[in-house]
Structure 1
Amino acid sequence: MTKAYITNFFLPNQPLFLFPTAPNDHLLYSNRSQINSTLKACEDALHDAETACRLQPYWLKGHLRKGQALANLGKTEEALREFLFCLALDTGNKTAKSEAQKVNVEQKKGFSIQEEPNVTTSGSLRKSIQITESKKDCSEEENKFTSMPESTFLISEKCNLLKRKCCSEEMRNAEVPCKLMKKDIDTRENSAGQHIPFEVVDPSDLDCSLCMRLFYEPVTTPCGHTFCLKCLERCLDHNPKCPLCKEGLSECLAMRKYCKTVLMEELIARYLPEELTERRKIYEEEIAELSNLNKNVPIFVCTMAYPTVPCPLHIFEPCYRLMIRRCMETGTKQFGMCISDPVKGFADYGCILEIRNVEFFADGRSVVDSIGKRRFKVIQHSQRDGYNTADIEYIEDQKVQGQEYAALLVLHDSVYDQAYMWFNSLKQALKSRILSHFGPMPAKDPDPQANPNGPAWCWWVLAVLPLENRAQLPFLAMKSLKDRLNGIRRVLTFMSRTRSR
């Protein structure tokens, strides 16, 4: 092949002008770009580097020259993108890593590029790029950098982009092709301005290694692995370590804030729009199913809960961590509370609790501030993802009228006065504990039938009475306010007699 000759004109304080006899030789433009950079002719250096990249779109050296020119012009974000592209072509290229680190230091973003090329943020960007180019005669200095395009270079399944310790904005917004079509392109085709086309991305390239489905709300751990947000949270419920490399994620768990990987989301939206639409549809169907407060309602098997009565909970079991998180994500913020049953697992009657606030701790535990809302009867017992669920129907008091209502008012006032006297007769220390936990006794309702669950003070009294759960459960199932009031009166009478002895 005919050698390319260059005529040089050196002028004081002027950029170097080169007149190549081979205008489509990318090596000449790369060399001139380097010389212009040395002479501080940054714009000319960038123009030559862009020409070299246009002639050879996937030549590492051309993009390296372009990144250096951009860095000299102060365009650090674009420069970093070029260096990342170089690393996508050759993950072991030390020059590209060094230049990217320099750019990052200037931006003070804390972005680090590690020496290990075998860890990727998404598992791997699979398939290979194979580009065969004609060999060029060039100087010994140029051969040091052009050895890659003169031979075949591959990006295989185990060749990964980067190991990220921090997700910087530059990295997340950088655009790197996910997969390129395998194709041999000779120099003449590239010289004619033809580009290597993108191939349709295989959805398995962007599958979560935990759920084996397309990434949805992808997040990247400090150790550089990417998972679906919900999948990662479920793993951290059981063990505060990365599911793949087992690196500790206690700090990540303590913050409870996960930054979505913008780069991964953009790749999916760009190359897999149909798969993303289907994945979003599946997620929305799951959320709709979890939001149903009649079918498969989550059940917390623990203690008695009553309407209008506060019920603080300490959550530490993985299954209940998941349950509480789902209640918050769906927006219902509600779940059922039942006592245990040795035969069925949990009782046939319970109370819906509404979450008012959740306080998370660094080790994954949480304290849930909840309050009783409605009573329910269990129609069918079941389980989901480790916690109990149930199909339920809600219970309401049956209303009475006429003489029955008048008698109910008398009974209501009488039992209220009796309960008020009993509470005031307790020792001050006990009263203080009750007040700190359940709050003050609710006032007497003008209309005891105004609330479908009956007067709030009845449930407050039942919550503070020293009764076993099995003795309290029948009150929850009663649909007659009269029967509930008579039951409370009998218990208060018994308590008063026992105390007088």
Structure 2
Amino acid sequence: MSQQEADTSLMLEFALQAFQAQNFQLASDIYGRQLQEQRAGGVDWALLLRRAECLAYSGNLQGACDLYQRAAVHRKVGADQLKTLISCLADGIRTREGLPHAQGESKWGILSCKGCRDFLWEPVTLVCGHTYCKKCLEDYKGKDQCELCRVTLDQGDAGHQFKVNVVLSNILCKWFPKEVQARKLRQEGNALFKEGKLQEALGKYNQAIDIVSCDHLLYSNRSMIHFSLKAYECALQDAETACRLQPCWVKSHLMKAKALTSLGKTDYALREFLFCIALDTDNKTAKLEAQKLLLTLLNPENCQEGLPDLLQVIPHPFRVKGNVDPLSLAMPCSNLQRLNKVNLEKEILPMVSEHKVSSDCNTGKESFRSPGNNSIWQVSVAETTIPSKCISLKRKLSSDETEKSKLTVVPSKIQRRADVPVTDKADNVISVSPYVDSSDLDCSLCMRLMYEPVTTPCGHTYCLKCLERCLDHNPKCPLCKEDLCEYLAKRTFCKTEMMEELIGNYFPEELNERKCVYEEEIAELSNLNHNVPIFVCTMAYPTVPCPLHIFEPCYRLMIRRCMETGTKQFGMCIGDTVKGFADYGCMLEIRNVEFFADGRSVVDSIGRRRFKVIQHSQRDGYNTADIEYIEDEKVQGEDYKELIRLHDAVYDQAYNWFNSLKPQLRSRILSHFGPMPDKDSDLQINPNGPAWCWWILAVLPLESRAQLPFLAMTSLKDRLTSIKRVLLFMRRSRPR
């Protein structure tokens, strides 16, 4: 290898390293010097294309185009080799315009499908709380999980028999009857299109557009039908209308590009394909078509005087930010302008000003001449922005008291081009029912505005608390009686997001009132002195664990409320044939709750404070009481010393008695109540006295009526004396 070849190889290695380090300018310079040194011989086309790629990545699109064109003249470049240039052109558009998500923001806002982002049609709410069109769910490939949150779906059988959300469906039919009718016609048209009945499908779409003329999808889909019928001019017109209604909808720009290609307007089509790629970088169709078209423009057979100015491929911000394209089709390339060191960004404004005819400062309107047919049309500067949401629901108080809960719907008009024919019937305005009533969102169980709405797999929506109470009694839907055992077993009652947003946005005052009522109820339930829930069952003692099996509906509700309020406490009393429950009891604190599939639960609780019942009462099927807490009286001096001597003696007596039990019995006691607590260093530090006293009382085989007086005692001395007597009796009565 000669020295020159070695130097060349080394420089190319440096260029490759610079490219990998994304120092594209350095790599381009190295490749450029190597090409200059090879002027005497033949051109290394692979090296030239590598330099063109570096120039494109470094932002020098003009220089890159020159090199690609040079290679094209000698047929040394293919469509696949233009990927980098196409990608860089699209990146420039995306960066300059600050383009949003490929689909843009749905004009329907809250009432849009989470999948297609279009107006909801046959809404289905999943167990995770997200709502989609039924058709979107059926067509979605990953049917085993939600597209948004990826939660596994357990609805219906293996085929997922999705049930329509009844409340949402009724709301859409009442609030937007025309849109619902148009969507139905669209579905029918799509079915006919798939069957190959193009004329019948076109008729359905014509009817739909007569009803609603501001739906970009109607125009986009009708454009596809026209395209299939080879009516390319009609396809182009519909695609342009769809682009104006939803400027960042990729599908409409793609249809426009295809129509332009079929009409032979190659440079215009390339402009649209690049815009599609800028919106959706993964759009393979747009990429492939853009590469083919760019290669066609680079081909010397199509460039009699040079390459069309690629500046005109880059959209003007006015189209995106103002949502109206003032030049209809792209400005015509005078097909034969050379790309020789032209600053791309400096050419953007002249593209529009070149076609401006006049400007009226008084009216705020500017006139433009369409390059295709020289017709003049006007755009109101103040009206060029289309709202991202086509509807706006605002509150309007009626003079009549009975109308206070109603809302007036004020639809937003959509700006349209004067040169695009739009039917007079639709007037390009979303039409809705004149009034929206908050009663449309009432729970069918409590007949109040839904609070924390939850939708069951069968499609019915209720307040979360209302549904839980119903399922306590019967694991079936309160309305359709469909079995909800599996739904109950999961216990993942996720709130329906769309219903919450509807209520929060359109009925804020009613929601605040409903929330205040709920908070008042929670505050009342949180009071641990008045209307304290009472579980009438067994004897409970302070510091002693008390596991419970909950299966009755009233106590399911009681436990759930204790958890919701955050107190996690309820009272425990033994039964009384006269009063219903005893006058003394112990507060239990819930440490854990384990739910079963059928609604039953096991509650792990432990005793806390003792109380005396002041008044007996009931609430929603379970007992309640007004209570006051009781504590041991404290002693001092000689009385305290005597109390210590008595305490130590009784403790030893209890310890010896427990150890004298049979091993099997001791093991059962230890597994249920735990080990016997140690003696306290300070007998009066706990208001209920030493913990071991309550432990031994729970272990001793006494009837509930015999145990009850110990709870009422406020003297530790009296309690120890009574325990001593019971232990003596137990020792004497033990069989020998």
TM-score, scaled to structure 1 = 0.71
| Aligned position for 1:104 | 140
Amino acid at match of 1:459: W
User: Map of 1:4-83 to 2, 5 A cutoff?
Assistant: 80-82=116-118
Which residues of 2 match residues 436-447 of structure 1 at below 5 A? Answer: 436-447=671-682
Instruction: Describe the superposition over 1:285-322 as per-residue Cα deviations: whole angstroms up to 9, x where unpaired.
Output: 11111111001000000000000000000111111111
2:467 matches 1:232: yes
Kept in 2, the 8 Å contact 1:448–1:455? The answer is yes
In the alignment, is residue 499 of structure 1 matched against residue 559 of structure 2? no
Q: SS in structure 2 opposite 1:447?
A: coil
The alignment partner of 2:635 has SS state of: coil
Instruction: State whether residues 80 and 103 of structure 1, in contact with CA within 8 Å, keep that contact through their aligned partners in structure 2.
Output: no
Matched, 1:289 2:524: yes
Q: Does 1:143 align with 2:179?
A: no
Structure 2 CA distance for partners of 1:263 and 1:176, relative to 1, 3 Å: farther
Mapped contact 2:210–2:423 kept (Cα < 8 A): no
Name the aligned partner's letter for residue 663 of structure 2: Q
Identity %: 66
Residue identity in the other structure for 1:120: V
- The equivalent residue for 2:556 is 321
CA spacing shift, 1:500–1:98, aligned 2, 3 Å: closer
RMSD value, Cα: 3.5
In structure 2, what residue type is equivalent to 1:228? C
Alpha-carbon offset, residue 200 of structure 1? 5.1
- How far, CA to CA, are the matches of 1:395 and 1:78 in structure 2? 57
Q: Give, in angstroms, the shift of residue 402 of structure 1.
A: 1.1
Rg larger in 1 or in 2? 2
Q: Does 1:490 align with 2:730?
A: no
How do 1:273-422 and structure 2 match up within 5 A?
A: 273-422=508-657
Q: 1:278 to 1:182 in 2, by over 3 A?
A: closer
Distance 2:603 2:633 in 1: 32
Question: 1:3 corresponds to which residue?
Answer: none
The 2-side partners of 1:175 and 1:329 are apart by 40
The change in CA–CA distance for 1:190 and 1:460 in structure 2 (over 3 A counts) is same
Indicate which of 437, 440, 450 corresponds to 1:205. 440
What is the aligned partner in structure 2 of residue 160 from structure 1?
none
Q: CA separation of 1:475/1:80 partners in 2, compared to 1, >3 Å: closer, same or farther? A: same
Deviations 1:159-203 (A, max 9, x none): xxxxxxxxxxxxxxx9999998699x9954854x55546755311
Query: Residues 200, 83 of structure 1: CA spacing in aligned structure 2 closer, same or farther, 3 A cutoff?
Result: closer
Distance, in Å, in 1 between the alignment partners of 2:425 and 2:587 is 70
State the secondary structure of the residue aligned to 1:257. coil
* Runs of 5+ consecutive residues of structure 1 not aligned to the other structure: 1-66, 71-75, 89-95, 134-138, 153-173
Change (3 A) 1:316 1:130: closer
CA contact (8 A) 1:181 1:196 kept: no
Q: CA deviation at 1:450?
A: 1.2
Q: Distance in 2 between matches of 1:298 and 1:275?
A: 30
CA–CA separation in structure 1 for the residues paired with 2:592 and 2:134: 48
Aligned in 2, Cα 1:97/1:486: closer, same or farther, shift over 3 Å? closer
Q: Which amino acid aligns with 1:397?
A: D
2:704 alignment partner AA: N
2:170 aligned with 1:124: yes
**Contact residue 113 and residue 119 of structure 2 kept, 8 A:** no
Answer yes or no: is the 8 Å Cα contact 1:201–1:272 preserved in 2. no
SS in 1 for 2:623: strand
Pick from 504, 509, 525 the counterpart of residue 269 of structure 1: 504
Please give the per-residue CA displacement for 1:337-367, whole angstroms capped at 9, x wherever unaligned: 0000000000000000001111111111111
- Please report how far the alpha carbon of residue 371 of structure 1 lies from its aligned counterpart in structure 2 after TM superposition: 0.4
Give the drift of 1:114. Answer: 6.7
Asked whether the equivalents of residues 409 and 436 of structure 2 are also in contact (C-alpha less than 8 Å), the reply is no
Aligned match of 2:668: 433
1:456-496 Cα offsets, whole Å, 9 max, x none, are: 01000100001000000000000011110110011001111
In the alignment, the residues of structure 2 paired with residue 451 and residue 225 of structure 1 have an alpha-carbon distance, to the nearest angstrom, of 52
Deviation digits for residues 401-429 of structure 1 (CA, Å, limit 9, x no counterpart) = 11111111111111111111111111111
Distance, in Å, in 2 between the alignment partners of 1:272 and 1:459 is 54
Change (3 A) 1:123 1:482: farther
1:254 aligns with 2:494: no
In structure 2, list runs of 5 or more residues that go unmatched.
1-102, 107-111, 124-131, 148-158, 182-198, 213-388, 394-406, 414-421
**Relative to 1, partners in 2 of residues 1:98 and 1:197: Cα closer, same or farther, differing over 3 Å?**
closer
For the residue of structure 2 that corresponds to 1:326, the secondary structure is helix
Tell me the matched-pair count.
392
Summarize the Cα distance change of 1:367–1:383 in structure 2 as closer, same or farther, 3 Å threshold: same
